Chain A
Amino acid sequence: MLTRNILAPSSPWPVVSFDFRCQVSDKLLTRRYLNYGHDRGLKKHNSLRLRAGFWDSIKSGFLKNNTLQVIETPSEPQEDEEVLPQEFVLIEKTEPDGAVEQILFSSGGDVDVYDLEALCDKVGWPRRPLSKLAAALKNSYMVATLHSIRKSPGSEGNDQKKLIGMARATSDHAFNATIWDVLVDPSYQGQGLGKALVEKLIRALLQRDIGNITLFADSQVVEFYRNLGFEPDPEGIKGMFWYPKY
């Protein structure tokens, strides 16, 4: 039936009949799927919609003069754009020798893994495989970083950019999020930089209505997070970890 007229539909009549037939065939197809083994009715609607899209694309391939737009079912129709990366200067200070140091906040997530590894060494964390670090950063919901940019006077364009802080969060984009790996260079600690990093993450998560924000804090930083609005073991909720049994 579909192979009959692949001619250029210059006259209206074949086009009309072709369309009509396609519509009929669509109806037949959808009815067949509805009768497939069970009577779920509306419950199958979602998958039906996807199948209709498939047949639409086949149909449009045959129609030369097609005004039929095959709109791909968007995978996340309800979601707004992804978190737009931001970058702004958090602190700027001028040193006595005229050099200007800026602390740049960025949520774009472009972190050099070697810089990150060096930073982890500075704070005393155990080393982790670089490929895993890179994969983790790429697949995190949000990675917030702090860089220090030092502009010496006189040497224009010779800025020193150094990674001094990072925090990242993983999420399912709807309900839950976990904050991992918050670290700030020891020589820059105590200035509220870590607080700014975490607060930025929280604000971005809450803006997307992600209400369950969790983290696992070492004993010496529990107070730090308590000041940021986190509650330890709320209502008896605890995190458990998997241990392979050999």
Chain B
Amino acid sequence: MEVVVSRSLQQMQPGYPSKCMELRWVSTRKSGIDKAKRVLLKKPLTPPALFPIYISTNPSHINLEELRDLYSASNHSCHRFPNYVGSGGIVEPVNIHKLRIALSHSSVVVSVFCKPSDVLFSTKPSSSEPSEDPIKLLCLGQLFQKVMPVTPFNGQLVGFGRAVSDFGLTASIYDIMVTPSLQGMGIGRMICKRIVRMLASRDIYDIAALCSENERLFFKACGFGDDILGATTMMYSRKASTYHEGDQIIRAGRKLLIPPPLPEPPAF
């Protein structure tokens, strides 16, 4: 999981001194266990591929449909308790209108782009690929494609993360995700570090992240830990089991939430 910074293009926008778009390189060098697995499956050991990714903090680089597809590809839902479609544990696609609203009100939005050919390359397991041998001459078209810089406009969205803040005291990180074929390469960590860096530059150090069991290790590796003051995380979940006639029900994923009952009018 090596991330080597080779070049960074700083494009300062007036009013947002910390907004910049950077070109970075990630490597597919995997851990030793994976190597052994590959040998077992009689696949040739490919040399670690180094390819460029583009990390941006500009929300206008994001195409909403691509983002929704990324949510679906990562099987990530905006609801904490999502509705599962079918029996495969696949979450329902995220509502694009709500996603647009959420993005427009998120204080920090980080997106990572990659060349589509690189995304495909990382998913091809077969050994019949001619491009495996790096010494072999690539045809001019492929060479040209390799040399062209990746930008948000010709790249595919492969990673995303956002944070909501009050720009004073606190912030919460939500929805960090990387497309499954490129996971484990440090992209998620890069997104998290970028979000934290942007918040710290605005003097916000109280950064919270809600995570489920399997995301906990990831956040731990990014420098998050349990609250030092011992605070308990609680979520509103007054369920429909105590449903009375006339109660309003709000659907949040697979949870049906009931708002608290209206108080009696004040007695005069």
5 contacts between A and B (CB under 8 A): A134-B168, A139-B167, A228-B260, A233-B233, A238-B211
Chain A, range 106-162, C-beta contacts under 8 Å to B? 128, 131-140
Out of B80, B167, B250, name the residue touching A206 (CB < 8 Å). Answer: B250
The answer for the CA separation of A228 and B170 in the assembled complex, in Å, is: 23
A32 beta carbon closer than 8 Å to chain B: no
Indicate whether A140 sits within 8 Å of B166 (C-beta atoms), given known contacts A173-B102, A211-B253, A234-B237: yes
Out of A228, A229, A232, name the residue touching B233 (CB < 8 Å). Answer: A232
A87 beta carbon closer than 8 Å to chain B: no
- Interface residue ranges, B against A (CB under 8 Å): 63-66, 78-81, 97-102, 104-106, 153-154, 162, 164-170, 172, 174, 196, 200, 203, 205-213, 216, 219-220, 222-238, 248, 250-253, 255, 257-260, 262-263, 266, 268
Give a binary string over A158-187; 1 marks a CB under 8 Å from any B CB, 0 the rest: 000000000010111111101010000000
The answer for the CA separation of A240 and B226 in the assembled complex, in Å, is: 5
The answer for the CA separation of A231 and B232 in the assembled complex, in Å, is: 10
B266 touches A239 (CB 8 A): no
A37 beta carbon closer than 8 Å to chain B: yes
Size of the chain A interface, CB-CB below 8 angstroms: 75
Q: Which residues of B contact A244 (CB under 8 A)?
A: 200, 205, 223
Indicate whether A178 sits within 8 Å of B101 (C-beta atoms), given known contacts A89-B266, A229-B238, A241-B226: no
The answer for the CA separation of A243 and B104 in the assembled complex, in Å, is: 27
A213 beta carbon closer than 8 Å to chain B: yes
Q: From A5-13, A16-24, A71-79, give the one contacting chain B.
A: A71-79
B168 touches A225 (CB 8 A): no
A241 touches B104 (CB 8 A): no
Q: Closest Cβ of chain B: how far from A212's Cβ, in Å?
A: 5
What does DSSP make chain A's interface, helix, strand, loop or mixed? mixed
Query: Across the two chains, which residue of chain A brings its CB closest to B102?
Result: A174
Q: Which residues of A contact B97 (CB under 8 A)?
A: 78
Q: Which residues of B contact A175 (CB under 8 A)?
A: 78-79, 98, 102, 174
Query: Across the two chains, which residue of chain B brings its CB closest to A216?
Result: B231
B105 touches A172 (CB 8 A): yes
The answer for the CA separation of A90 and B267 in the assembled complex, in Å, is: 9
A203 beta carbon closer than 8 Å to chain B: yes
The answer for the CA separation of A179 and B206 in the assembled complex, in Å, is: 14
B250 touches A232 (CB 8 A): no
Give a binary string over A210-224; 1 marks a CB under 8 Å from any B CB, 0 the rest: 011111111100100
Q: Which residues of B contact A239 (CB under 8 A)?
A: 208-211, 227, 231, 233
Indicate whether A171 sits within 8 Å of B232 (C-beta atoms), given known contacts A136-B166, A178-B208, A234-B237: no
A63 beta carbon closer than 8 Å to chain B: no
The answer for the CA separation of A37 and B231 in the assembled complex, in Å, is: 51
